[in-house]
Structure 1
Amino acid sequence: MHELSIASAIVEQAAEIARADGADGVSSVTVRVGELAGVVPDALHFAFEVARDGTALAGARLIVEQVPAVAWCGGCAEEFAVGMPPFFWCPRCDRPSQELRGGRELEITEVAPVPAPA
């Protein structure tokens, strides 16, 4: 399960970001995961819960934004979903696409700090 190594990297990077911002802890981490990134969101959630224990993210929740895989057809200027398993054939002009525009993302987009006590 490679999601555990991905979750560990997310925890490390989010903790580093929080430290750099002067935060004592993290309440949530938002990540964008592309449809073709080879990451199973449920497995990533489970792995995150394991990886966060004993860290500044111990109480943090993981928010996964799934990004659909889309390709671009240069022949007819059509952007289309490639689906899973991926099919890179333009549904409009019936030609193969050679440009993937989205769906391979795996990035942290937000690290929310634990709110300061009032």
Structure 2
Amino acid sequence: MHEMSVALSVVDQVEQAARPQGVHGVRRVAVEIGELAGVVPDALAFCFELACAGTRLEGAELVTRSVPGRAHCAPCGRGWDTGMPPDMICAVCRAGATELLAGRELRITEVHWSAAPTAPGPAPVPQSEES
């Protein structure tokens, strides 16, 4: 399951970005996943939760956005969504797609840091009741 290695990589990259900024926690991480990237979003979410355990990302939400595969035909200039499995033949001129424009993405697009934990204040002193 390569989703675990992807999840570990996301956690590692966010951890590295958090260190120099003194961030104590992460609330949410947003990731774009191309439909041709070979990553199953539900499997990634499961692995992400496991990968976050014991890190400053523990409890963070993973938000995924799917990016459709998109191809472009150089001979006739047509663009189309490739679908899955990808259709790489131009429906107009029957040429093979010369350029894949989108669909292989796998990138972190947003990280929402948590507020720094506040130090607990002094415990209230119990008041004695006088009658």
TM-score using structure 2 length: 0.84
8 A Cα contact 2:82 2:88, kept in partner: yes
Shift in Å, 1:117: 6.0
Shift in Å, 1:56: 0.3
Q: Please, which runs of 5 or more residues in structure 1 have no aligned partner?
A: none
2:9 maps to: 9
Amino acid at match of 1:93: C
List per-residue Cα deviations over 1:37-69 (Å, max 9, x = no partner).
110000000000111011000010101111100
1:67 maps to: 67
- Higher Rg of the two aligned structures: 2
Tell me the secondary structure at the aligned position of residue 10 of structure 2: helix
TM-score using structure 1 length: 0.93
8 A Cα contact 2:24 2:115, kept in partner: no
Separation of aligned partners in 2, 1:31 and 1:20: 22
Structure with bigger strand share is: 1
2:125 maps to: none
Task: Tell me, yes or no, if structure 1 residue 86 matches structure 2 residue 89.
Answer: no
Shift in Å, 1:116: 4.1
Shift in Å, 1:110: 1.2
Tell me the secondary structure at the aligned position of residue 17 of structure 2: helix
Identity %: 49
Separation of aligned partners in 2, 1:3 and 1:117: 31
List per-residue Cα deviations over 1:15-49 (Å, max 9, x = no partner).
11122232111111111111111100000000001
Separation of aligned partners in 2, 1:62 and 1:31: 7
8 A Cα contact 1:18 1:111, kept in partner: no
Q: Please, which runs of 5 or more residues in structure 2 have no aligned partner?
A: 119-131
8 A Cα contact 1:69 1:102, kept in partner: yes
8 A Cα contact 1:33 1:65, kept in partner: yes
8 A Cα contact 2:25 2:116, kept in partner: no
Separation of aligned partners in 1, 2:73 and 2:44: 32
